Structure 1
Amino acid sequence: MLLFRFPLLSMLCAVLLFDFIQCKKVICTDYCCSFVEAFPVKLKALRSSYDKIRDYYESKDDLETSLFNRTILEHFKSPYGCSVMNDVLYFYLNTVLPSAVQGERKRKHKTPIDTIGDVFFHLKRELLKCRNYFTCKKPFEISHIQDSYSQMGEKGLYKAMGELDLLFNYIEDYLVSKRRKN
């Protein structure tokens, strides 16, 4: 009798948990809300692609300084987070990823760096499309990150690529903060 109670109890808990999760689902009525709600799938693709190249870049990063410190995280969490994300994505799309891809271009197939670039490009485009949804304001200056990157010389690429997982967390925190509550 006891053997039958445990599976029955487990199934009941699973059904109740499923019902609870379904109640928490956000119903979006506009494009930008749908984009934010669907972003975890893109974030999973970012992390999966980065996992394939992480060891290489982290093994080459022997610098003690960081590009993404607590100050940048606070900027992401501020009312100017949209501008911060836009500037950081621009920096990666125009400076970091092209440098990282130079050695990878000999291949004919899509690389993890290409996938990261595609998701970043899509995210940047959606930020611009949804400026009102994200209430983008512009006082953030990315020059600190760019200056640090330049001062690191050739090792800046390894630092920037080695800190992608940190950037993914910042992006995730920002987009989660923009989710609509039921």
Structure 2
Amino acid sequence: MAVVSSAVDVVVALFSLTMAVAAPLFDSQVVLPPGLYPAPLVSIFRWFVAEFDHYVVADPPPFFRALVWLDLAFLWPVSVANLYGVLARRRWSAATSLIAGVHMLTYLSAMFGEMLGSGRATRKLLGLYALFVVFAVASVVRGLCWRSTQATPAGSSAAHPPKKRV
């Protein structure tokens, strides 16, 4: 069980790191002017759009712009906190994992609805988003099942200190 828990922690930390870096550096390029970014970041962003034939990012519809703003305002800070919480083995990181996972699954449901409904998505693009489904599900599972290794067992005296008698 410890091996599975550690593997899920690694997946969730990788997901959180990806979101903590990608949101401000790349996702934000969908909603902010390209002049705010250094040329190498704009170049990587354009390569990504071309490589994955990401038509939603290339010509973002209003719903996608709203999702990006939501990611920047909500998912990005949660991902930063979650990365710290997972690496520092904080008990509250179960809550941030659950929040990030549910947020990402909601985001992905809109994206898959668009991509599958339009029929324009390539296998490569769907594969990329399928990877994020795995990350999101791992985050939800970790949020629902994770227990701190620092928690005291129910039968220990630290959990139930003796009553003081007068």
Please, what TM-score do these two structures have when normalized by structure 2? 0.40
Q: TM-score, normalised by structure 1?
A: 0.37
